[in-house]
Amino acid sequence: MGGFLFLDLPAGNAFAILRIHQFPFFLKLIKNTPKGIFCIPGKFYIDPWRPVDLAVITHGHGDHARWGMKKYLCHHLTRPILQHRLGADISVESIDYNESVLINGVRLSLHPAGHIVGSAQVRLEYKGYVAVISGDYKLQDDGLSTPFEPVKCNEFVTESTFGLPIYNWLSVDALNDQLRTWVARNRENAKTSVLFGYSLGKAQRLMKAVDGLGEIYTHRSVFELNQIMESSGVELPEYKLLSTEEDKKSLKGNIIIAPPALYDSRFLRKIGDRSTAICSGWMQVRGARRWRSADAGFAVSDHADWQSLITAVKETGAERVHVTHGQTAVFSKYLNEIGIAADEFRTHYGQDEEVLENPNAEPEV
Ligand SMILES: [Zn+2]
Ligand SMILES: [Zn+2]
């Protein structure tokens, strides 16, 4: 029965046509709907943006984990993050990486996405056909998230937040060296280093990068997530809660980690001798570094850069790729040019975390 699934491919895509699988052509495993990505035989959604009965959640960022689902399924490490952000009374079940459950005949398992603590790719298998929805991911090992593992599949859903060739990250070690040099110089000059990065994922990476260079003070939003991660067994450097009553002298030469939304907060502006840095993938581009006249910008990202996106897609061996948030048009066009059939999935992702750090951000609709 297989064989007709890819007859709608653009001319010249013989490579993909040659890899026709045996999945019956009249069956589809996943589709994009106005509520989110839907597993058709499984009757559940992955990271839906409208209320549904069962939502499988890839990770705790707000654009993927939304309020109002009857039931949630996620990784063990994501569970307390969802309860913190969506309410202790949500109905949520969790599983481990590589553990599988059967839902309406679909075998579902979670695999590390390397994006933030608890982030998972969702693997779906039905009648021998496999689809993977990767959520957000990165290939670099940040030392906190379980490192990304490629998963073989027929159909792959990828993000493309930084899907342009200009995005090309430094190694984690080289980047951490830059951050440490900057913080150490501020300390020598008795300045407070204020590092801005979103509170779930980026903030903890920054804490780890500057560990040992001074006292780390965290904004409440970071502090609370730190505590949740620690109670799940994640090891973090020592930190304190930054209080608005904080004695300015005790901050001298030390470090503050705060979310980007607080950049213009009165309290932080009142800290006299301070040096500010925005830590985001967008800082790779010179123009973006001038944003808000921060003293420094470091391209620290929890998303895959251009080369990593291509590597990740190739490693899946997928014959069909759907591109979500970010550079969907550019990246899907590129994949088609190298012989991988790709299209765009219009989603509501990309309205939170790193995307909002972008000075020119236009949320997707
Ligand atoms: Zn994310
Ligand atoms: Zn996202």
Tell me, yes or no, whether 72 and 179 share the same domain: no
Residue at a domain's end among 298, 316, 338? 298
Higher pLDDT, residue 271 or 226? 226
Indicate which CATH number applies to the domain containing 310.
3.60.15.10
* pLDDT, position 10: 45
Residue at a domain's end among 298, 326, 344? 298
- Give me the mean pLDDT over the 289-299 stretch: 80
What are the DSSP calls for 298-313, one per residue? E---SS--HHHHHHHH
- Give me the mean pLDDT over the 327-350 stretch: 94
Asked if pLDDT for residue 2 goes beyond 80, the answer is no
* pLDDT, position 26: 59
User: Are 120 and 97 a contacting pair, CB within 8 Å?
Assistant: yes
Tell me, yes or no, whether 178 and 282 share the same domain: yes
Measure the CA–CA gap between 72 and 94, rounded to whole angstroms. Answer: 8
Measure the CA–CA gap between 49 and 156, rounded to whole angstroms. Answer: 20
Residue 14 — very low, low, confident or very high, per pLDDT cuts 50/70/90?
A: very low
Tell me, yes or no, whether 156 and 240 share the same domain: no
Higher pLDDT, residue 365 or 108? 108
Is residue 6 included in any domain, yes or no?
A: no
pLDDT per residue as tens digits for the range 15-74: 444 445 555 655 799 999 999 999 999 999 999 999 999 999 999 999 999 999 999 999
Tell me, yes or no, whether 343 and 214 share the same domain: no
Is residue 3 included in any domain, yes or no?
A: no
Tell me, yes or no, whether 130 and 198 share the same domain: no
Indicate which CATH number applies to the domain containing 197.
3.40.50.10890
Number of domains into which the chain is organized: 2
State the distance from the centre of ligand 2 to the C-alpha of 321, rounded, in angstroms: 17
Question: In this structure, how many other beta carbons lie within 10 angstroms of the beta carbon of residue 277?
Answer: 24
Measure the CA–CA gap between 163 and 325, rounded to whole angstroms. Answer: 10
Q: Indicate the helix (H) or strand (E) that contains 21.
A: none
Residue 164 — very low, low, confident or very high, per pLDDT cuts 50/70/90?
A: very high
What contacts 14, CB < 8 A, 6 or more positions away? Answer: none
- Give me the mean pLDDT over the 267-277 stretch: 87
Asked if pLDDT for residue 365 goes beyond 90, the answer is no
Measure the CA–CA gap between 300 and 97, rounded to whole angstroms. Answer: 26
State the distance from the centre of ligand 1 to the C-alpha of 311, rounded, in angstroms: 19
- Give me the mean pLDDT over the 230-256 stretch: 93
Asked if pLDDT for residue 354 goes beyond 70, the answer is no
State the distance from the centre of ligand 1 to the C-alpha of 4, rounded, in angstroms: 35
Tell me, yes or no, whether 283 and 353 share the same domain: no
Residue 248 — very low, low, confident or very high, per pLDDT cuts 50/70/90?
A: confident
State the distance from the centre of ligand 2 to the C-alpha of 63, rounded, in angstroms: 6
State the distance from the centre of ligand 2 to the C-alpha of 64, rounded, in angstroms: 6
Asked if pLDDT for residue 11 goes beyond 50, the answer is no
Tell me, yes or no, whether 228 and 144 share the same domain: no
Asked if pLDDT for residue 355 goes beyond 80, the answer is no
State the distance from the centre of ligand 1 to the C-alpha of 24, rounded, in angstroms: 34
State the distance from the centre of ligand 2 to the C-alpha of 2, rounded, in angstroms: 34
DSSP state of 96: -
pLDDT per residue as tens digits for the range 99-134: 999 999 999 999 999 999 999 999 999 999 999 999
- Give me the mean pLDDT over the 280-309 stretch: 86
What angle (nearest 5°) sits at the alpha carbon of residue 301, between those of residues 299 and 304?
120
State the distance from the centre of ligand 1 to the C-alpha of 294, rounded, in angstroms: 24
Asked if pLDDT for residue 247 goes beyond 90, the answer is no
Tell me, yes or no, whether 287 and 149 share the same domain: no
* pLDDT, position 356: 55
- Which domain, by its residues, includes 208? 172-298
Q: What's the predicted TM-score (pTM) here?
A: 0.90
Query: In terms of C-beta density within 10 A (0-12 exposed, 13-18 middle, 19 or more buried), how is residue 261 classed?
Result: middle
- Using DSSP bridges, classify how beta strands 100-103 and 106-112 pair: parallel, antiparallel or unpaired: antiparallel
Measure the CA–CA gap between 187 and 128, rounded to whole angstroms. Answer: 58
Tell me, yes or no, whether 26 and 105 share the same domain: yes
Residue at a domain's end among 259, 279, 298? 298
Measure the CA–CA gap between 69 and 49, rounded to whole angstroms. Answer: 9
State the distance from the centre of ligand 1 to the C-alpha of 63, rounded, in angstroms: 7
